[in-house]
Amino acid sequence: MSAMEKALAGLISTVFVATAALAGPPQRVTLEYDMSHNGTAMAQVVEILQHDGKHYTLESEVKGKGLFALARSGSAKRSSQGEVTQAGLRPAVFRDRRGDRPESVARFNWSAGSVEQGEEGRSERRAIPAADQGAAVSDRLSFLWTFAFSAPVGKEIRAMLSDGRGFSSFRYALAGSELLNTPVGDIETVKLVKQLDPGDERGTEIWLASKRDFLPVRILVIEKNGARIDQMITRIGT
């Protein structure tokens, strides 16, 4: 191979890698889940992503089933919108409404390095937390979808996540690959396991579909009392 051919091959390889790194999911993705509490049907979850490669919107709605529907007034809705970057999703506005309770909102001003959080009319402005040791700063909805635009790498993922009222720090270990049996068939996944800090007794495990744009296909929360809240994929569509 001549020097020119080698240079051309290297250029093609570079372009291919860059394109792969920027590849994302389809412009519209709908994920539906069944949520259970210790094996008992609890709720249906529907999440919708829309993006154009530069900006995104995310919507999530949880509707209770059976006794759980009677126990709560209305449904729980979360939404996020912001920018698509090479590092993943960067939110501008995150909203969280639970039943009849006031909506919590986080508005990020990245250029000013500030975020306004709280209920409408009762919010507080503060500095966006420093990204300690490479931690991502995001909201709790965008974080689950950000890997569709920036695949998980390394041994541990750190994040500072807003719930519309404040920030919490999380550490997830990449726990290897796992073939996950789901209602939509077997899915090859990468598993993330939350690392518990002192005083934290609420475990979380996340399964990302490694051959389906790293979409979140299962989220398992283990409460302090051992209760298991399991969110399992039942449909992947547009």
19-71, pLDDT tens digit by residue? 334 468 999 999 999 999 999 999 999 999 999 999 999 999 999 987 676 55
141-190, pLDDT tens digit by residue? 999 999 999 999 999 999 999 999 999 999 999 999 999 999 999 999 99
Three-class SS state of 13: helix
Look up residue 23 and give its DSSP letter. -
Whether residue 199 contacts residue 171, with contact meaning beta carbons closer than 8 Å, is answered with no
DSSP for 33-102 reads EEEEETTEEEEEEEEEEEE-SSEEEEEEEEEE-HHHHHHSSS-EEEEEEEEEETTEEEEEEEEEEETTSP
User: What pLDDT does 121 receive?
Assistant: 78
Look up residue 207 and give its DSSP letter. E
Mean pLDDT of the chain: 88
69-95, pLDDT tens digit by residue? 655 556 899 999 999 999 999 999 999
User: What pLDDT does 74 receive?
Assistant: 65
Whether residue 190 contacts residue 208, with contact meaning beta carbons closer than 8 Å, is answered with yes
User: What pLDDT does 70 receive?
Assistant: 53
Has residue 194 got a pLDDT over 50? yes
28-237 has CATH 1.10.3470 classification:
no
Rounding to the nearest 10 degrees, give the CA dihedral for residues 200, 204, 205, 209. -130
User: 0.85 cut: is pTM over it?
Assistant: yes
Domain boundaries, the chain: 28-237
118-141, pLDDT tens digit by residue? 997 789 999 998 876 678 999 999
User: What pLDDT does 62 receive?
Assistant: 95
Has residue 16 got a pLDDT over 60? no
Q: How confident is the model at residue 199 (pLDDT cuts 50, 70, 90)?
A: confident
